[in-house]
Amino acid sequence: MKKLSLQELNRLSVDEFRSIKKHDVCVVLDSIRSASNVGSVFRTCDAFLVEKLYLCGYTAKPPHKEIQKTAIGATESMAWTYFEEVTDCIQLLQQKGYVILAIEQAEGAKQLGEFEWESTKKYALVFGNEVSGVSDAVMEMIDDCLEVPQWGTKHSLNISVCTGVVLWDLVRSITTK
């Protein structure tokens, strides 16, 4: 088996990426403390054709050395907006008709594999701080909560890994229906 070269991957240019139809999915980062995690989320959102990334609270914003290091150029392709208050971001997305989903370990949370994604709906996925999770104020505003099942001793995924798992499940589901 031979690995594909960069030319064989037929990657989109930044201009092509910006102009193609994205999935009706936004990612909201609620006070993420690690700029490296933010950069990784930029890259993951690019990979899954996410419509827009919202950086909220004290989440680092481009240009930032650590974001650039892990995003590997995805800050140029991904549309993003900053909100000082995450609740203002959530209110805007609600007004635009997005289903607001917290990705959190919470009472009544649905397990990721059991959630029925609907290709006709628009989703905003909220990922919280690495220590304290999605803020209580946002938890009061959500439509539903999803949890990524885990079986080890930590019961905690890095936010960038969690974002990849959830986006893979969503995009796989809505593109195969």
Give residue 42's domain range.
31-175
Q: To which H or E segment does residue 102 belong?
A: strand 98-103
What is the domain-level CATH number for residue 155? 3.40.1280.10
Return the percentage of the chain with pLDDT > 70, whole number.
99
In-domain check, residue 164: yes
Nearest Cα neighbor of 70 from 81, 62, 59, 80 is 62
59 inside domain: yes
Domain assignment of residue 3, yes or no: no
At 26, list the tokens: 């936004």
Residue 10 counted as domain residue: no
Whether 125 is in a domain gets the answer: yes
What pLDDT score was predicted for residue 177?
67
Could you tell me if residue 163 is inside a domain? Answer: yes
Lowest-pLDDT choice from 7-11, 65-69, 89-93: 7-11
Count of other CB atoms within 10 angstroms of residue 74: 24
81 touches 115 (CB < 8 A)? no
Tens of pLDDT, residue by residue over 70-129, are 999 999 999 999 999 999 999 999 999 999 999 999 999 999 999 999 999 999 999 999
Cβ(123)–Cβ(170) below 8 Å: yes
Between CA 130 and CA 154 the distance in angstroms is 13
pLDDT tens for each residue of 127-158: 999 999 999 999 999 999 999 999 999 888 99
Instruction: Report how many domains make up the chain.
Output: 1
Residue 20 lies in a domain: no
pLDDT score of 79: 98
Q: Is residue 21 part of a domain?
A: no
Residue 85, C-beta contacts closer than 8 angstroms, at least 6 positions apart: 56, 57
